């Protein structure tokens, strides 16, 4: 009876190992097919909301299991918007880039984001969110305005 029990446990162990191997392969293949999320936030004196926006994007990246790229284009904020963003830039699930511009227009946003290396990277969803306009923050996951 004990030898049969040993073979049964051995069979279950092999089956569990095979399931883990196949699941690992599936996750690796799925990560190649997922498009990376890139959020471009245009800010101007948003120190009251900046922490929540960045934390929401970080949580979203962690929940999805991949890194969310965030670019903050700041239009000469007179408050601590960039300081808050810089402090929160080291969170898990988020890759942050900060840029200060004198005046941010639609053309500047498009030109800034379409660098040569990113034009070749078609595996990326880009979201342009102009936080200077009311209601644009609704495009950020977990944020309701």
* Structural domain for 46, as ranges: 35-139
Measure Cα distances from 74 to 33, 56, 85, 101 in Å: 32, 19, 10, 6
Task: Provide the domain count of the chain.
Answer: 2
Q: Which of 27-36, 37-46, 65-74 shows the lowest per-residue confidence on average (mean pLDDT)?
A: 27-36
Pair (29, 40) in one structural domain: no
Judge if 19 and 48 occupy the same domain: no
The 10 Å CB-count burial string (b at 16+, else e) for 99-116 is: eeeeebeeebbeeebeee
Same domain, 43 and 28: no
Over residues 99-129, the pLDDT tens digits come to 888 776 667 666 666 653 454 456 678 888 9
Same domain, 26 and 73: no
């Amino acid at each position: 009876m004990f030898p049969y029990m040993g073979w049964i446990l051995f069979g279950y162990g092999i089956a569990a190992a095979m399931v883990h191997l196949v699941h690992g392969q599936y996750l690796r293949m799925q990560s190649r097919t997922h498009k990376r999320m890139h959020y471009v936030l245009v800010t101007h004196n948003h120190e009251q909301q900046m922490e929540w926006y960045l934390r929401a994007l970080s949580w979203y990246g962690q929940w999805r299991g991949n890194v969310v790229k965030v670019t903050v284009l700041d239009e000469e904020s007179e408050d601590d918007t960039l300081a808050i963003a810089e402090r929160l830039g080291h969170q898990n699930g988020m890759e942050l880039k900060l840029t200060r511009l004198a005046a941010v227009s639609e053309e500047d946003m498009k030109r800034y984001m379409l660098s040569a290396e990113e034009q070749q990277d078609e595996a990326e969803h880009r979201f342009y969110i102009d936080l200077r306009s009311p209601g644009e923050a609704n495009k950020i996951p977990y944020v309701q305005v």
